Amino acid sequence: MAIRMRKLALLAAPLALLSQLATAALRDGRPHANVMRPPGIPTVQLIAPETPVISRNGTELPPYNTTYYFDQLIDHNNPSLGTFKQRFWHTYEYYEKGGPIIISTPGEGNADGYFSYLTNRTINGQLAQQQNGSTIVIEHRFYGFSNPRPDLSVESLKLHTIQQAIDDLVYFAKTVNLPMPGGDQITPDKAPWILIGGSYSGALTSWTLVK
Ligand SMILES: *[C@@H]1O[C@H](CO)[C@@H](O)[C@H](O)[C@H]1NC(C)=O
Ligand SMILES: *[C@@H]1O[C@H](CO)[C@@H](O)[C@H](O)[C@H]1NC(C)=O
Ligand SMILES: *[C@@H]1O[C@H](CO)[C@@H](O)[C@H](O)[C@H]1NC(C)=O
Ligand SMILES: *[C@@H]1O[C@H](CO)[C@@H](O)[C@H](O)[C@H]1NC(C)=O
């Protein structure tokens, strides 16, 4: 039975991918190869992600699925090229001053739905709960709606490098003003930051540490 299911899954995956390719489009309708992929890192089903989050002291915080936008540098080697909007999700449900800022990216895919990694259904949120931390999920450049360039031309893809992705994480940490009380006082010189990842984003985590 398990083997038969596996065969079916092997067949279903390319078919699903084809149907997604056929419908892949940017918000303005232009076709785009940037498709939703079958999740490599699983998302977690939340019961009501659109309802307010209740912090420890009873304050109502924005829902987990609130999307925020960070002004990220298009090219870290040439900041004069300006910025693009990089999507992220965030909560300070368990945060107390001095706690860590816990960040992860789902990596090479549209990050929609991964806001579940803000919650204590995942190790990120468990750490936040235990250590009084705040959690962030950030979309990787060139995926979903975090695109430094309007297309996937060879010229644009020159900005799709590991080093630029590392620099995105570093620039975000050093620059972001998190939408929470004291959110401008949490840069890595003032608060501990924890980067977590699995698969490609796990490798990216190690490379960020090394670099
Ligand atoms: C959050 O989820 C609700 C219910 O599914 C939806 O109406 C709302 O548009 C979502 N908000 C965002 C920012 O995605
Ligand atoms: C409750 O927590 C919120 C968010 O961290 C904070 O802004 C507020 O001052 C706190 N209120 C009390 C009474 O501690
Ligand atoms: C997770 O957090 C919720 C509050 O959002 C709390 O009610 C629940 O007890 C926590 N679960 C665990 C396993 O700590
Ligand atoms: C978390 O915050 C609470 C309340 O301020 C404090 O009592 C506790 O020691 C903190 N925990 C950690 C791990 O810092």
Q: Is 156 in the pocket of ligand 4 (CB under 6 A)?
A: no
Confidence at residue 24, expressed as pLDDT on a 0 to 100 scale: 60
Amino acid at residue number 2? A
pLDDT at 48: 81
Q: Enumerate the β-bridge partners of residue 69.
A: 87
Rg (CA), the chain: 18
Question: 117-176: per-residue pLDDT in tens?
Answer: 999 999 999 999 999 999 999 999 999 999 999 999 999 999 999 999 999 999 999 999
- Whether residue 47 has pLDDT greater than 70: yes
- Report pTM: 0.83
Residue of 64, 129, 130, 134 to mutate, ligand 3, most atoms within 8 A of C-beta:
129
Question: 31 or 205: whose pLDDT is higher?
Answer: 205
b/e burial code for range 153-165 (CB count within 10 A of at least 16 → b): eeeeeebbeeebb
pLDDT in tens, 64-121: 999 999 999 999 999 999 999 999 999 999 999 999 999 999 999 899 989 999 999 9
Question: Would you state the pLDDT for residue 200?
Answer: 94
Segment (H or E) for 171 = helix 162-175
pLDDT in tens, 169-195: 999 999 999 999 999 999 999 999 999
Distance CA 93, CA 60 (A): 9
Q: According to the model, what pLDDT value does residue 35 have? A: 56
Domains and CATH numbers, the chain: 1-35 (no CATH), 39-210 (3.40.50.1820)
Q: Whose CA is nearest to atom 1 of ligand 2?
A: 57
119 CA to centre of ligand 2 in angstroms: 19
| Each residue's pLDDT tens digit, 3-44 | 444 444 444 444 444 444 445 666 666 656 555 555 567 778
Quote the pLDDT of residue 11. Answer: 47
CB atoms near residue 118 (< 10 Å): 28
